[in-house]
């Protein structure tokens, strides 16, 4: 649903279907999703989103934990360290094999990308990309966040 909120500001709301993948970014590693829900609001070039994913079998996923299927590509600015930009907060999770006191967040790489990388951080080890080896047989993540996009039409 779209609303014209002014000559230069367009408000759009919709749903999208996120999914877990790994560094291959193809989403066909034999994983089984039992819940894939995403809702977004786009105001101008700003996209606010909530997503809830539950995977009951991870198949042959390896490497980095990545979420694809966003409604618009993420336009991430260049950072001082050339790494990642904070894009979302994981507000609920289950199935992670990480130390207590570790926080989990969603980040995007620099440039125009169509995925989120899940990272963890703590006071002892600092910042690292969450690996599929740190995930049990099942995984559930609920993420809320925002990002900017250059796209004017939703991703295919």
Helix (H, G, I), strand (E, B) or coil at 14: strand
Residue 84's pLDDT band (boundaries 50, 70, 90)?
Answer: low
**Predicted pLDDT of residue 37:** 96
Number of domains composing the chain: 1
Residue 73 lies in a domain: yes
**Residue 141 structural domain:** 18-33+52-147
Is-contact 146 87, C-beta < 8 A?
Answer: yes
Global pTM?
A: 0.87
Residue 127 lies in a domain: yes
Residue 11 lies in a domain: no
Residue 38 lies in a domain: no
Helix (H) or strand (E) run with residue 138 in it: strand 135-148
Q: pLDDT tens digits for 117-136?
A: 999 887 777 788 899 999 99
Residue 13 lies in a domain: no
Residue 60 lies in a domain: yes
> What are all long-range contacts of 30-38, with beta carbons under 8 Å and residues at least 24 apart?
30/57, 30/59, 30/60, 31/55, 31/57, 31/58, 31/59, 31/61, 32/56, 32/57, 32/59, 35/140, 36/69, 38/69, 38/70, 38/71
Q: pLDDT tens digits for 20-79?
A: 999 888 778 889 999 999 999 999 888 999 999 999 999 999 999 999 999 998 887 655
Rg (CA), the chain: 16
Residue 133 lies in a domain: yes
Q: Give the Cα separation of 20 and 31 in Å (integer).
A: 8
How is residue 64 annotated by DSSP? B
Residue 4 lies in a domain: no
């Amino acid at each position: 649903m779209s609303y014209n909120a002014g000559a230069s500001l367009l408000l759009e709301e919709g749903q999208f279907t996120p999914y877990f993948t790994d560094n291959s970014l193809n989403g066909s590693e034999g994983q089984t999703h039992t819940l894939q829900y995403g809702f977004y609001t786009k105001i101008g070039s700003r996209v606010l989103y909530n997503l809830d994913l539950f995977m009951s079998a991870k198949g042959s996923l390896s490497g980095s934990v990545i979420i694809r299927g966003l409604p618009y590509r993420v336009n991430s600015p260049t950072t001082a360290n050339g790494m990642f930009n904070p894009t979302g907060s994981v507000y609920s999770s289950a199935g992670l094999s990480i130390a207590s006191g570790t926080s989990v967040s969603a980040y995007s790489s620099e440039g125009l990308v169509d995925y989120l990388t899940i990272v963890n951080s703590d006071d002892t080890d600092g910042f690292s990309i969450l690996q599929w080896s740190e995930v049990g047989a099942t995984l559930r993540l609920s993420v809320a966040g925002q990002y900017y996009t250059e796209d004017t039409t939703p991703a295919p």
